[in-house]
């Protein structure tokens, strides 16, 4: 990066500086920092930067500074592709000229009565801004002379070419003096533009501000080709594979945010959405949930995400390919902070593939394609996570009590691999009814209230379960009066529910293996030694 220059270090007159101050610009944008000094020095410049990066002022400021008040004829001409842009540029000039009313600027474009423009030209104009068509019109009528022009600016040159103005541009340029300074600004630099630069510029300085110069985090970036209708399913698989990570899902529209967060919640994920239509209070509530861990998936639009200061996300999902490369960079910048690793997955529908190519090119990032994960991948990742847990228990915990138990099994001629695999199976499949062979449900030794039996249930916040779901299911299915159901504790991956001892068997018989909110559940009498654990 170049050293950081402030406006008052750019050799700008006090009047213009004051106007810039009034416009509220705090510091020059990168394209301004790098172009203004070069244009002021008299050199030709070819500048490339994305839309919205302040290219207008990058040429307008030096054009103003180089205006010679003693000579009241067109000395700078700015060509712009459309009427709207011409007006916008003219407005930016007028703001910059707030304290220089002696400099005369005239916009000319089709659709405005030409007589008025002719009248103004006759009165004397320093800076002319116009569409190539209307400028040619004046040249043909002889109402405009370019023989004293010293600076020509081709703004949004790529658009002008696209609109078929190449010949007009070339005509106009060749009617200006050879010693002129030629400035070319464009968001993109296709070959035909380089050709124009070559034929009409002298040794231009190329100023390129690519979004690649934004700090693109060095995280894993993947994309998946997914048809629109499959996106949700693929998202769920990826979330399952990467479970226990904090994630953000970006969508391009507010409606989409609502849609996805609703669908994720109904599939049992703890997710909430954030977008610009929400009241501040609502947004604060969602952010509160995300920070305290009661949700671990946040869905947002780019605009909504701009206002939040969360940057320790593990995984970013681009449910839609972002509209703009800078959005992409900002989105993925939510991950991988503070030396943490992060990952970004971008879902690309067939319609979006070109947008993705653009992003890869402009941001100069490598986004590699991965296949859509299948059910076995999801299962394998669960196993992998369990093995990680096994490793850390071996490394960090005291297994003194358990080793003799395993040794006993080995004496019975089971191999270590068999024993471990069986334990892993129990761990992953949960203790389903099969193991539960007893009919008696004892209260008391489980921490339950007197007279109550505490059940361990294998679903929790991870499935979006709420107390009312348990009450509804147990009361509805097992016919237990709702008010007799005792305390309900919903944790991340599982829950504890207490029911009166007298109903325990019925609850077990009916609820174990039943479904709650579409999830198959196991109800198991809680054991005393089961520790309540929490991820947070």
| 3-state SS class at 67 | coil
Region at 364 (left for phi over 0; alpha for psi -120 to 50; beta for the rest): left
Least Cβ distance, residue 160 to ligand ADP (angstroms):
13
Q: From residue 441, how far is each of 12, 152, 348, 445, 486 by CA, in Å?
A: 85, 90, 53, 10, 15
Question: Per rule CB under 6 A, is residue 32 in the interface with ligand ADP?
Answer: yes
- CA pair distance 180, 191, nearest whole angstrom: 23
Q: How many binding residues for ligand ADP (CB under 6 A)?
A: 12
- Contact between 275 and 345 (Cβ < 8 Å): no
Least Cβ distance, residue 323 to Mg ion (angstroms):
18
Q: Identify the burial level of 161 via C-beta atoms within 10 angstroms of its C-beta, where 0-12 means exposed, 13-18 middle and 19 or more buried.
A: buried
Question: Per rule CB under 6 A, is residue 57 in the interface with ligand ADP?
Answer: yes
Question: Per rule CB under 6 A, is residue 183 in the interface with ligand ADP?
Answer: no
Per-residue contact string for residues 361-390; x = within reach of ligand ADP by CB under 6 A:
------------------------------
Q: Identify the burial level of 77 via C-beta atoms within 10 angstroms of its C-beta, where 0-12 means exposed, 13-18 middle and 19 or more buried.
A: buried
- CA pair distance 420, 255, nearest whole angstrom: 48
Q: Which stretch binds Mg ion (CB under 5 A): 54-62, 128-136, 330-338, 506-514?
A: 54-62
Per-residue contact string for residues 36-55; x = within reach of ligand ADP by CB under 6 A:
-------------x-xxxxx
CB burial of 471-485 (b: ≥16 within 10 Å; e: otherwise) equals: bebbeeebebeeeeb
Applying CB under 5 A, among 34, 55, 104, 454 the residue interacting with Mg ion is 55
DSSP-assigned letters across all residues of 442-510: --STTSPPTTEEEEEES--GGGT--HHHHHHHHHHHH---GGG---EEE-SS-EEEEEEHHHHHHHHHH
- CA pair distance 19, 57, nearest whole angstrom: 12
| 3-state SS class at 398 | coil
Least Cβ distance, residue 60 to ligand ADP (angstroms):
8
Task: Give φ, ψ of 273 to 5 degrees.
Answer: -105, 160
291-297: long-range contacts at Cβ-Cβ below 8 A with a sequence spacing of 24 or more?
292/536, 293/535, 293/536, 294/270, 294/461, 295/270, 295/271, 296/244, 296/245, 296/246, 296/247, 296/270, 297/239, 297/247, 297/248, 297/249, 297/264, 297/269, 297/270, 297/271, 297/272
Residue in the block written with tokens 């994960």: 373
Nearer to ligand ADP, 155 or 469 (CB): 155
| 3-state SS class at 25 | coil
Least Cβ distance, residue 122 to ligand ADP (angstroms):
30
The beta strands (E) that lie in 320-440 are given as 343-348, 368-369
- CA pair distance 251, 246, nearest whole angstrom: 17
Contacts of ligand ADP in 82-101 (CB under 6 A): none
Nearer to ligand ADP, 29 or 242 (CB): 29
From Mg ion, ligand ADP, none, interface partner of 52 (C-beta below 5 to 8 A by class): ligand ADP
Nearer to Mg ion, 184 or 239 (CB): 184
Least Cβ distance, residue 24 to ligand ADP (angstroms):
7
Applying CB under 6 A, among 5, 17, 18, 25 the residue interacting with ligand ADP is 25
Nearer to ligand ADP, 60 or 497 (CB): 60
Least Cβ distance, residue 474 to ligand ADP (angstroms):
60
Applying CB under 6 A, among 29, 159, 349, 386 the residue interacting with ligand ADP is 29
Q: Identify the burial level of 290 via C-beta atoms within 10 angstroms of its C-beta, where 0-12 means exposed, 13-18 middle and 19 or more buried.
A: buried
From Mg ion, ligand ADP, none, interface partner of 32 (C-beta below 5 to 8 A by class): ligand ADP
Residues pairing with 524 in the sheet: 456
Least Cβ distance, residue 141 to ligand ADP (angstroms):
30
Nearer to Mg ion, 55 or 100 (CB): 55
Residues pairing with 369 in the sheet: 223
Q: Which stretch binds ligand ADP (CB under 6 A): 28-36, 233-241, 435-443, 494-502?
A: 28-36
DSSP letter (8 states) at residue 449: P
Nearer to ligand ADP, 11 or 51 (CB): 51
Question: Per rule CB under 6 A, is residue 164 in the interface with ligand ADP?
Answer: no
Q: Which stretch binds ligand ADP (CB under 6 A): 23-31, 234-242, 319-327, 401-409?
A: 23-31
Least Cβ distance, residue 187 to Mg ion (angstroms):
8
Nearer to ligand ADP, 53 or 446 (CB): 53
Nearest to 51 by CA among 239, 185, 176, 164: 185
Applying CB under 6 A, among 35, 48, 56, 446 the residue interacting with ligand ADP is 56
Nearer to ligand ADP, 36 or 363 (CB): 36
Least Cβ distance, residue 150 to ligand ADP (angstroms):
22
Nearer to Mg ion, 160 or 526 (CB): 160
Residue sitting closest to Mg ion (CB): 55
Least Cβ distance, residue 156 to Mg ion (angstroms):
5
Q: Which stretch binds ligand ADP (CB under 6 A): 27-35, 106-114, 225-233, 420-428?
A: 27-35
Least Cβ distance, residue 94 to Mg ion (angstroms):
16
Nearer to ligand ADP, 160 or 344 (CB): 160
- CA pair distance 86, 107, nearest whole angstrom: 6
Nearer to Mg ion, 55 or 254 (CB): 55
Binding site for Mg ion (CB under 5 A): 55
Binding site for ligand ADP (CB under 6 A): 25, 28-29, 32, 49, 51-57
């Amino acid at each position: 990066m170049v050293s950081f220059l402030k406006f008052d270090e750019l050799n700008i007159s006090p009047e213009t500086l004051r106007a810039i101050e009034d416009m509220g610009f705090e510091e020059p944008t990168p394209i301004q920092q790098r172009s203004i000094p070069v244009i002021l020095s008299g050199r030709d410049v070819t500048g490339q930067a994305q839309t919205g990066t302040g290219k207008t002022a990058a040429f307008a400021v030096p054009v103003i500074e180089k205006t010679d008040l003693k000579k009241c004829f067109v000395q700078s001409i700015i060509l712009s592709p459309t009427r709207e842009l011409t007006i916008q540029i003219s407005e930016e000039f007028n703001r910059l000229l707030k304290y220089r009313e002696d400099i005369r600027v005239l916009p000319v474009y089709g659709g405005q009565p030409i007589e008025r423009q002719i009248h103004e030209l006759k009165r004397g104009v320093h800076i002319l801004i116009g569409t190539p068509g209307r400028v040619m019109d004046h040249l043909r009528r002889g109402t405009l002379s370019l023989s004293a022009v010293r600076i020509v600016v081709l703004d949004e040159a790529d658009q002008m070419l696209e609109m078929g103005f190449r010949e007009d541009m070339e005509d106009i340029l060749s009617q200006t003096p050879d010693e002129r300074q030629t400035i070319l600004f464009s968001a993109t630099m296709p070959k035909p533009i380089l050709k124009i630069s070559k034929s009409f510029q002298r040794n231009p300085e190329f100023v390129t501000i690519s979004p690649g110069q934004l700090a693109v985090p060095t995280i894993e970036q993947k994309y998946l080709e997914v048809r629109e209708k499959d996106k949700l399913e693929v998202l769920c698989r990826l979330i399952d594979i990467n479970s226990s990570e904090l994630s953000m899902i970006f969508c391009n529209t507010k409606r989409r945010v609502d849609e996805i967060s609703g669908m994720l919640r109904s599939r049992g994920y703890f997710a909430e959405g954030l977008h610009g239509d929400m009241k501040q209070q609502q947004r604060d509530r969602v952010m509160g949930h995300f920070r305290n861990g009661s949700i671990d998936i946040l869905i947002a639009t780019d605009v909504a995400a701009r206002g939040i200061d969360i940057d320790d996300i593990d995984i970013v999902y681009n449910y839609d390919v972002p509209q703009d490369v800078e959005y992409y960079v900002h989105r993925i910048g939510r991950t991988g902070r503070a030396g943490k690793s992060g990952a970004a997955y971008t879902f690309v529908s067939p319609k979006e593939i070109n947008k993705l190519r653009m992003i890869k090119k402009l941001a100069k990032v490598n986004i590699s394609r991965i296949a859509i994960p299948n059910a076995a991948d999801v299962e394998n990742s669960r196993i992998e996570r369990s093995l990680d847990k096994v490793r850390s228990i071996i490394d960090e915990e005291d297994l003194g009590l358990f080793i003799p138990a395993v040794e006993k099994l080995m004496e019975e001629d089971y191999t270590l691999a068999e024993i471990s695999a069986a334990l892993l199976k129990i761990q992953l499949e949960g203790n389903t009814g099969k193991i539960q062979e007893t009919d008696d449900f004892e209260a008391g030794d489980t921490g339950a209230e007197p007279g109550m039996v505490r059940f361990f249930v294998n679903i929790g916040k991870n499935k979006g379960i709420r107390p009312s779901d348990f009450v509804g299911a147990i009361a509805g299915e097992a016919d237990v009066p709702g008010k007799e159901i005792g305390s309900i504790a919903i944790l991340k991956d599982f829950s504890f529910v207490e029911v009166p001892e007298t109903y325990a068997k019925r609850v077990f018989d009916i609820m174990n293996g039943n479904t709650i909110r579409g999830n198959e559940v196991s109800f198991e009498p809680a054991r005393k030694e089961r520790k309540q654990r929490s991820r947070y």
